[in-house]
Amino acid sequence: MGYTLCLKWQVTWVYTTYKFNKWCVFYKFVIMYKRETKEVKEQKQVIVAVVCDHCGKEHKGSKVPDEWHSFSGHHNEWGNDSVDSYENYMVCSPKCYIEKLSEAVKEFDGYYSAEIDDMTIKFAKSLVYFLNAPQHLVYD
């Protein structure tokens, strides 16, 4: 017994198991799809520029320039807000990095498990203090 399958049709065998109390019932379904070629016009959003998160400077195109820096911050404290805490930042210069890092440290201060740009929150706070301190101070 042979079967001929037209190329415009796709046959998919689906196996499903249902459990009722202690019994398992096994079903086999056949799902057929009919395929046609149609012209489809769609609209989708595309990236036209990369924007600095601090100063708003735009760089045309979807590729991040080599002189820009992207970093992230998050915490792993208990609760659903740890998932929502993940933030990505894109900055165009060292000046914008220092400012955005300072803002991120203020945002994540108080979370022991926070990390910003792969630094612990304690180190990031020290770095911000060091970068914002007057140049005449001597550090150990």
- Place 97 in a pLDDT band, splitting at 50, 70 and 90: very high
Query: Residue 92 sits in which domain range?
Result: 51-132
- ∠ at Cα 66 (60, 90), nearest 5°? 70
Averaged pLDDT, 83-88: 77
Least confident of 26-35, 52-61, 76-85, 106-115: 26-35
SS3 label, residue 116: strand
Averaged pLDDT, 2-11: 45
β-sheet bridge partners, residue 30 = 13
pLDDT at residue 135, as a whole number:
67
In a domain, 90, yes or no: yes
Domains in the chain, number: 1
In a domain, 38, yes or no: no
pLDDT at residue 40, as a whole number:
86
In a domain, 73, yes or no: yes
Q: What is the DSSP letter of 65?
A: P
In a domain, 116, yes or no: yes
In a domain, 65, yes or no: yes
E strand residue ranges, 2-133: 9-20, 23-34, 49-51, 58-60, 69-74, 87-91, 115-116, 119-120
| Residue 124 one-letter amino acid | A
In a domain, 11, yes or no: no
Share the mean pLDDT of the chain.
76
- Tell whether the model's pLDDT for residue 12 goes beyond 90: no
In a domain, 25, yes or no: no
In a domain, 19, yes or no: no
pLDDT at residue 22, as a whole number:
52
pTM of the model: 0.61
pLDDT at residue 91, as a whole number:
92
